[in-house]
C-alpha cells in the first residue's frame, strides 16, 4: 500500500492548536492524592501545552475541563443530565463545549459511551463509541469521517480519517513503561500535521473518564 499524503483537517477547537508538522505529545497522569488527578500533556520540548482537570480537581462528577498551557479554558466537557439522561440510562452522552470571542459556550461535539454501538449527532460533529475494552470512536466534522480503532485501555489505538489515513495515534513506548511501571501513567499521543490537537486531547479525556482512570474521582 502506498503512502498517502497528509491533508488539512478542519479544526474543531481552534486552528492555533494544529501544527504544520507531526507532533508527539506526552501524557502524564497526576495522582489523585497529591493534586486531584487529571493529566498533563507536554510537547517534545517538555513544555506543558494542555492540562485536563477531572472531578478530583473540579469537585464535580461527570465534568472535565481542558486548558491550554497558559491555563486558559478551551473545552468544558460534561455528561448530559436532566430528563434526557434519565431517559437514556444505558447510553451516557457527553458534550464538549468551546467558547466564542465573548466567552459564551458553544457546543462543538457530542460523544456516547454505550454498551452496544449507537450514534448521536449535533451540528458538524458526530461520534460513535463501541463497548469495552475495544473502543471505536467515529465522528463527522466538516464532512470528514474519523474512526478510532483499537484499545485506549491498552494505549494502542489509531485515529483515522475517511480515507483511511492516520491522523493521530495513542501509543506506549517500552522504555516509558519500564520507567514508570504502569503504562497508564505515561504515554504518547502522536498527532499528524494539520490536525486539531486540542480536539484529540479532549476526546481522549472522555475516554480516560469512561475507563475510570485519572479524571474520575
Over residues 57-75, the pLDDT tens digits come to 999 999 999 999 999 999 9
DSSP 15: G
Q: Which domain covers residue 116, as residue numbers?
A: 21-210
Residue 58 lies in a domain: yes
Number of domains, the chain: 1
Q: Is residue 114 part of a domain?
A: yes
Angstrom distance (rounded) from CA 88 to CA 81: 10
Kindly state whether residue 192 falls inside one of the protein's structural domains.
yes
Half-sphere exposure of 69 (CA within 13 A, CB side): 12
Read off the C-alpha cell for 73.
Answer: 479554558
Instruction: Examine residue 14 and state whether it is found in any structural domain, yes or no.
Output: no
What's the pLDDT at 145?
A: 57
Residue pair 16/194 in contact (Cβ under 8 Å)? The answer is no
Q: How far apart are the first and last CA of the chain?
A: 45
Is residue 8 situated within a structural domain? no
Averaged pLDDT of the chain: 77
**Residues with pLDDT less than 70, the chain:** 1-9, 81-92, 112-147, 162, 175-183
Q: Is residue 120 assigned to a domain?
A: yes
- 159: CATH: 2.40.160.200
> Is 0.85 topped by the overall pTM?
no
Q: How many CA atoms lie within 13 A of 217 on its CB side?
A: 9
pLDDT at 35 (0 to 100)? 87
Question: Is residue 12 in a domain?
Answer: no
Q: What is the pLDDT of residue 7?
A: 52
Phi, psi of 130 (to 5 degrees): -100, 140
For residue 2, tell me if it sits in a domain.
no
Amino acid at each position: 500500500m502506498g503512502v498517502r499524503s497528509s491533508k488539512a483537517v478542519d479544526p474543531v477547537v481552534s486552528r492555533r492548536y494544529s501544527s504544520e508538522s507531526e507532533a508527539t505529545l506526552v501524557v502524564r497522569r497526576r495522582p489523585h492524592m497529591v493534586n486531584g488527578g487529571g493529566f498533563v500533556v507536554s510537547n517534545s520540548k517538555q513544555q506543558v501545552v494542555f492540562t485536563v482537570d477531572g472531578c478530583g480537581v473540579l469537585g464535580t462528577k461527570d465534568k472535565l475541563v481542558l486548558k491550554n498551557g497558559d491555563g486558559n479554558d478551551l473545552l468544558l466537557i460534561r455528561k448530559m443530565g436532566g430528563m434526557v439522561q434519565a431517559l437514556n440510562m444505558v447510553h451516557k452522552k457527553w458534550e464538549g463545549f468551546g467558547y466564542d470571542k465573548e466567552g459564551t459556550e458553544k457546543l462543538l461535539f457530542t460523544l456516547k459511551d454505550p454498551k452496544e454501538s449507537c450514534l448521536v449527532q449535533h451540528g458538524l460533529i458526530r461520534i460513535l463509541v463501541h463497548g469495552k475494552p475495544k473502543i471505536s470512536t467515529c465522528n463527522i466534522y466538516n464532512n470528514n469521517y474519523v474512526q478510532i480503532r483499537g484499545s485506549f485501555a491498552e494505549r494502542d489505538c489509531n485515529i483515522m480519517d475517511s480515507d483511511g489515513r492516520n491522523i493521530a495515534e495513542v501509543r506506549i513506548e517500552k522504555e516509558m513503561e519500564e520507567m514508570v511501571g504502569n503504562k497508564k501513567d505515561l504515554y504518547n499521543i502522536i498527532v499528524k500535521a494539520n490536525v486539531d490537537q486540542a480536539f484529540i486531547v479532549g476526546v481522549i479525556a472522555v475516554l480516560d473518564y469512561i475507563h475510570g482512570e485519572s479524571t474520575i474521582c
